[in-house]
A and B are shown apart, each in its own frame.
Chain A
Amino acid sequence: MILSSRFALASDNIVSESFDGEFVVVDLTFGKYFSFSDSGNVIWQAVSSGLSAAELLGVDQSKNPLLAVSEVEAFVLRLLEAGLIVERADTEGAADGLADSLREQLQNAAEKPDIQVFDDLADLFLADPIHDVEEPAGWPVVRPT
């Protein structure tokens, strides 16, 4: 079921940014941040863009032994448990061609899907230079509590 579900970022307080295909995700509510293995980056991009894991995997999952369906399923579950994504009710898909591109990247992955969680910079995120908001009066951006 998880494999065929579509997801979205759980809230505006989940910030995801990509640098050359590598993602950092910040949960501004709890001050945690997350990084991924190479295959984890691909799966994160897929599910946060509206692709289901099943669409990402396609029909031939035998090309990369690191990518057992159970591993992908467990990874998506961890994303859900971490509060980074929520299941979407609508069924609108992702952009055309994204699945093909990501599928190719996934086949070349060298690491199992994995997520690293950090909470050592919570005090930094409190001052929130992360949110894309206006700074009207010259004082630092302050995240509403």
Chain B
Amino acid sequence: MKVSVIVPVYNRERYVGAALRSLVRQRDDADLDIIVVDDGSTDGTAQIIQQIMAEAACVRYVAQPNRGVTHARNAGLRLVPPEADLVTFLDSDDISTAGRFAQDLAHFKADPALDLTYGLMRLVDHIDDDQLAAAPGCEGITMRGVSLTTALFRQRAIAPLKGFDENFAQAEDLDFLLRLFERRPRYLLTDTVAILYRQHPDGMTKSAHEQMRRGVLQAVLRSAQRRKRDPSLGNIPPVFDMSALAGAPPKFDDC
């Protein structure tokens, strides 16, 4: 099955190589079409991508002026070929886990009506970028979060959404997922740990947190309003499970 993987990137020379190599190593598991959208990087990101492209024909590269991740994801969606069965995403600082595609593709082959799989993410504080795995001794949390990267979407299922809403500076992924799940898709929650999510020690700035907070609330409000206007839309099924984050401290485990 042909899988288009959209990787938006902006000034990630330190991590984008590992992210792309984590995908390329799985090219025997799926017919991968890796679409890297460079959102105006000014560091060495482009050179690193070019090096990987020299060894992997499944990687495509497009550069655009900096317009933000939402616009970059939409640019990637526009490049998905009609023959791609499935679409997913990877953030340029994360790692696609080995076997991630092999595991979830089997579900689509078994069920032609399946619209998406929604797997797990593992948040870790240290990643071995040579081994493309969690570093020995790191701490992590596994959960079913709000993530485009843990999902595999049938292209026909997301086509009606017409991409990401570029009015969102943050939480455009949540808005996208809410719009999809309101449409009552046929979905499967899998136990596949699809990505290693890199936790950066400096965390999120206060202004970014405020943008995220506003974005989440706006996405939730828009979802409520859509469902009020259109009773054919459904409530959001219980797809998010962040119970590992509950409690103080969260339930970290060793890598």
Please give the residue numbers on chain A whose beta carbons come within 8 Å of chain B beta carbons, in ascending order: 15, 17, 19, 22-24, 26, 33, 35, 116, 118, 120-121, 123-124, 126-127, 129-145
Indicate with 1 or 0, residue by residue over B90-105, a CB within 8 angstroms of chain A CB atoms.
0000000000000000
Kindly provide the distance from the CB of A25 to the nearest chain B CB, expressed in whole angstroms: 9
From B125, B200, B220, B245, give the contact of A140 (CB < 8 A): B245
Q: In this assembly, does B204 line the interface, its C-beta being within 8 Å of a C-beta of chain A?
A: yes
Kindly provide the distance from the CB of A129 to the nearest chain B CB, expressed in whole angstroms: 5
B235 lies within 8 A of A144 (CB): no
Q: Which residues of A contact B228 (CB under 8 A)?
A: 35, 116
Knowing A35-B221, A124-B242, A142-B248, say if A137 contacts B203 (CB, 8 Å): yes
From B145, B201, B241, give the contact of A137 (CB < 8 A): B201
Kindly provide the distance from the CB of B135 to the nearest chain A CB, expressed in whole angstroms: 15
- Chain B interface size range: 35 or more
Kindly provide the distance from the CB of B177 to the nearest chain A CB, expressed in whole angstroms: 10
Q: In this assembly, does B218 line the interface, its C-beta being within 8 Å of a C-beta of chain A?
A: yes
Q: In this assembly, does B216 line the interface, its C-beta being within 8 Å of a C-beta of chain A?
A: yes
Residue of A nearest to B125 (CB): A138
Q: Which residues of B contact A17 (CB under 8 A)?
A: 213-214, 217-218, 221
B203 lies within 8 A of A136 (CB): yes
C-alpha gap A140/B242 in the complex (Å): 10
A22 lies within 8 A of B221 (CB): yes
From A22, A23, A127, A138, give the contact of B199 (CB < 8 A): A138
C-alpha gap A131/B56 in the complex (Å): 44
B213 lies within 8 A of A129 (CB): yes
Q: In this assembly, does B110 line the interface, its C-beta being within 8 Å of a C-beta of chain A?
A: no
A19 lies within 8 A of B145 (CB): no
Indicate with 1 or 0, residue by residue over B228-248, a CB within 8 angstroms of chain A CB atoms.
100000011110111101111
B216 lies within 8 A of A130 (CB): yes
C-alpha gap A44/B232 in the complex (Å): 28
A121 lies within 8 A of B240 (CB): yes
B238 lies within 8 A of A127 (CB): no
Residue of B nearest to A130 (CB): B213
B236 lies within 8 A of A120 (CB): yes
Kindly provide the distance from the CB of B158 to the nearest chain A CB, expressed in whole angstroms: 20
Kindly provide the distance from the CB of A117 to the nearest chain B CB, expressed in whole angstroms: 10
Question: Which B residues, 66 to 114, have Cβ-Cβ distances below 8 Å to chain A?
Answer: none
Q: Which residues of B contact A137 (CB under 8 A)?
A: 201, 203
A145 lies within 8 A of B247 (CB): yes
